[in-house]
């Protein structure tokens, strides 16, 4: 009995053990199946996604392809190399944060070709050192101005990058707005908002068109330029020196509001930097400050000088060149003598009606002469200039010192590039745009 009971117990134990082993194996198989099936399923999903992405990108490229082109070079983040900052004495003072370059629209070349009738001569608005500018109309009806980098341009890709990288960071109502760019094959295009009234130069120095520029319009243009320049120097998170301020780079919108354009030669100052020097003198001599034209030194003060020249041109309707006043003088020198002799009203453009505006205009002549003083440190900042222009200056304005005389004639208009080891003598001739290389003494 005991043996039988023991046997029954052993049989029962064996049966329970067998069932336990069976269940354990069953669970193990399920786990193995899960381990195998899981990775296989994930791999299949990844492969499907890769195939879908490949065909999506292929279709996208085919649809967006306008014409065969060479690979376009990338636009690296701007660095303050020699071409960007001149020659800075302190490298650290030229550093700036390049993490936030900003977003910019990229236009397809075919879109621009259609908008400008394939860059037809009928659409051409003008041409500068950078290249030609064309008017265009996009499919949505927006009017645009397209600046096309000439392959023979003395400026080139560096200036293209500079303009894109700078203006995309700047937002002000008195700066021309960049809508986007196109870099495709050999084409380098900048797309701007269209300015229906063209440039200040095209109106101011045209005998017929200038009649429409009465004093209120001219005053509004001047205030806009001053505020735009103040923004560049003091109010934006970058301190920017334009370096090529002139009437042809001031564009006018439908309401005759002024907008500063052409930032291809602009430079960024970082930290506590106040000035820099360069071997490459780029700009227009009639608007250049003497320290820049003669020594390659530029700063906010050199931009203030250019503003002062423009202000005198706007008041007088005359260009700052020696042909108008003789080699011994220029517009600045003539203006100072008239103002100093209490004959400033003789400088005012006779095409303007001067009913009760004379006193205000004479005040602005004083401000302009403060801006074009030979000593850069004596020139006011643009904040002070705006303060003075808007009649917020209490009391009498300071008396300006005599501006620099005309420089001896450098060369004929065709000789735009020179290399010398001495400081060059430069005749202040408007519209003589140049790139000069020299070694400053």
Q: Where does 341-425 have alpha helices with state H? A: 358-371, 382-389
Catalytic residue check, 212:
no
In this structure, are residues 334 and 343 in contact, taking their beta carbons and an 8 Å threshold?
no
Report angle CA 96, 101, 104 to the nearest 5 degrees: 155
The answer on whether 375 is annotated among ligand-binding residues is no
In this structure, are residues 241 and 229 in contact, taking their beta carbons and an 8 Å threshold?
no
63 alpha-carbon distance from chain centroid: 32
Other beta carbons less than 10 A from residue 229's beta carbon: 25
* For helices 300-316 and 382-389, angle between their N-to-C axes, nearest 10 degrees: 30
Which of 268, 355, 335, 277 lies closest to 84 in space, CA to CA?
268
Measured over the CA atoms of residue 161, residue 164, residue 168 and residue 169, the dihedral's sign is: positive
The string of DSSP letters for 234-264 reads IISSSEEE-S---GGGEEE-TT--EEE---T
Which of 108, 99, 161 lies closest to 130 in space, CA to CA?
161
> CA-to-CA distance for 200 and 275, rounded, in angstroms?
29
Q: What is the DSSP letter of 2?
A: H
The answer on whether 23 is annotated among ligand-binding residues is no
User: Any idea which residue has 């060059």 for tokens?
Assistant: 424
In this structure, are residues 433 and 289 in contact, taking their beta carbons and an 8 Å threshold?
no
Of 244, 253, 303, 341, which is the active-site residue?
244
> CA-to-CA distance for 399 and 251, rounded, in angstroms?
31
> CA-to-CA distance for 300 and 433, rounded, in angstroms?
20
Give the E-state strand segments of 128-186 in sequence order: 132-137, 143-148, 178-184
Which residues are within 8 A (CB) of 152 and not within 5 positions of it... i.e. 6 or more apart? none
Q: What is the DSSP letter of 421?
A: S
Q: Where does 211-316 have alpha helices with state H? A: 215-230, 290-295, 300-316
> CA-to-CA distance for 338 and 329, rounded, in angstroms?
12
Q: Which residues are annotated as a binding site?
A: 249, 262
Catalytic residues: 244
Q: Which residues are annotated as a binding site for Mg(2+)?
A: 249, 262
């Amino acid at each position: 009995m005991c043996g039988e009971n023991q046997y029954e117990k052993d049989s029962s134990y064996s049966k329970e053990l067998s069932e336990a082993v069976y269940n354990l194996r069953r669970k193990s198989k399920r786990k193995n199946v899960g381990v195998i099936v899981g990775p296989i399923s994930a791999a299949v999903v990844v492969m499907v996604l890769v195939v879908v992405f490949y065909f999506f990108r292929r279709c996208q490229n085919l649809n967006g392809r306008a014409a065969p082109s060479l690979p376009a070079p990338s636009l690296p983040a701007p660095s303050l190399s020699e071409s960007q900052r001149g020659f800075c004495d302190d490298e650290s003072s030229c550093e700036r944060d390049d993490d936030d370059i900003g977003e910019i629209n990229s236009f397809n070349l075919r879109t621009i070709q259609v908008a400008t009738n394939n860059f037809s001569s009928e659409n051409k608005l003008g041409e500068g050192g950078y290249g030609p500018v064309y008017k265009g109309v996009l499919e949505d009806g927006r009017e645009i101005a397209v600046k096309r980098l000439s392959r023979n341009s003395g400026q080139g890709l560096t200036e293209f990058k500079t303009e894109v990288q700078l203006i995309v960071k700047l937002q002000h109502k008195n700066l021309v707005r960049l809508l986007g760019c196109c870099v495709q094959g050999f084409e380098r295009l900048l797309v701007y908002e269209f300015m229906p009234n063209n440039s200040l130069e095209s109106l101011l120095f045209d005998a017929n068109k200038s009649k429409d520029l009465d004093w209120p319009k001219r005053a509004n243009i001047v205030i806009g330029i001053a505020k735009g320049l103040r923004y560049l120097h003091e109010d934006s998170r970058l301190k920017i020196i334009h370096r090529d301020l002139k009437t042809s780079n001031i564009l006018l919108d439908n309401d005759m509001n002024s907008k500063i354009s052409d930032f291809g030669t602009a430079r960024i100052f970082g930290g506590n930097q106040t000035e820099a020097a360069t071997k490459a003198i780029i700009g227009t001599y009639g608007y250049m400050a003497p320290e820049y034209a003669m020594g390659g030194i530029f700063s906010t003060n050199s931009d203030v000088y250019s503003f002062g020249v423009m202000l005198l041109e706007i008041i007088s309707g005359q260009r700052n060149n020696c042909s108008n006043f003789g080699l011994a003088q220029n517009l600045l020198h003539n203006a100072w003598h008239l103002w100093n002799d209490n004959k400033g009203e003789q400088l005012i453009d006779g095409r303007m009606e001067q009913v009760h505006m004379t006193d205000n205009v004479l005040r602005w002549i004083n401000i302009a002469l403060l801006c074009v003083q030979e000593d850069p440190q004596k020139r006011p900042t643009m904040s002070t200039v705006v303060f003075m222009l808007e009649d917020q200056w209490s009391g009498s304005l300071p008396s300006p010192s005599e501006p620099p005389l005309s420089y001896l004639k450098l060369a004929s208009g065709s000789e735009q590039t020179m290399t010398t080891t001495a400081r060059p003598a430069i005749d202040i001739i408007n519209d003589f745009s140049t790139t000069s290389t020299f070694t400053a003494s």
